[in-house]
Amino acid sequence: MVSLTIAAKEFKGFLSSAVAYIFLAAFILWLNGSYFVWQKLGTTYNFFTVQSTVLDVWFSMVPMAFVLLVPALAMKLWPDELKTGTIELLMSYPVKTRQIVMGKFLAGLFLILVGLALTLVVPWTVGQYGELDRGPVIGAYLASALVGGAFLAVGLFMGALCREQVTAFIVTALICLALVLMGDTLTNLFLPQSWHGITNALSFSVRFDDLGRGVANFPSVIYFLSFTVVCLVLNVAVVECRKGR
């Protein structure tokens, strides 16, 4: 209950600044615009010329969109507290550190889910022109939420370590980019063959694609949730260390 109260406060803070609106606008333009308007790799890849009901290519853009947008969202959650010194005031309240961390996480996650909800116009529109396979769409949205939550947890952890927003953004973006590119064909070209199994197992993009096929891939769900929990636990540990200083 305390975490939900903190989440509501943090979310109101998003709405009172430009962060939420910039995040949602950039996310919608990136994904919705890319499907209906943009060209891909020099070919005529857009809805009005292809009119395909297959959305796997479109969903594959979500992790890369999150690589830039989620760190930009997360960098406001902790660095602001550290820079202004309000973290001391926050820690003086009769609440536990894990409740504060969870509240901040829930606020960011809700904004990510709002962004995903606003992209539903794409599968809805595509479904008007043909029979849309709902299984892969549901799986891809689940994968998108899990990846967004995992990246947000990384951002919170890095934000607690860094006092500067720019530093937190850059480090988080690089970690998220590595998680997406890990297991990619181009990445594997530069690694020994014996490493491919490891990189594919750790890769966010590989597991994202697995869920996007509409198959109930529970190991991938557990992997994303475990990764998120570990980052949140580390976030709590870092804040507790700062609290003890």
Domain regions of the chain by residue span: 2-244
pTM, full prediction? 0.87
**Which letter does DSSP use for residue 193 in this model?**
G
Nearest one of 38, 63, 32 to 50, comparing CA atoms: 38
Res 200: pLDDT: 78
Cβ atoms < 10 Å from Cβ of 185: 7
- Alpha carbon separation from 26 to 34, 57, 145, 181 (Å, rounded): 11, 19, 17, 22
Res 41: pLDDT: 45
Res 135: pLDDT: 80
Res 47: pLDDT: 54
Cβ atoms < 10 Å from Cβ of 48: 8
Please say whether the beta carbons of 183 and 109 come within 8 A.
no
Cβ atoms < 10 Å from Cβ of 40: 14
Q: How far apart are CA 189 and CA 186, in angstroms?
A: 5
Our measurement of the distance from residue 91's CA atom to the centroid of its chain's CA atoms, rounded to an integer in Å, reads 27
Res 158: pLDDT: 92
- Quick one: tokens of 6? 């903190």
Residues in the chain, pLDDT under 70: 34-54, 82-92, 130, 185-186, 214-216, 243-245
Q: How far apart are CA 138 and CA 23, in angstroms?
A: 23
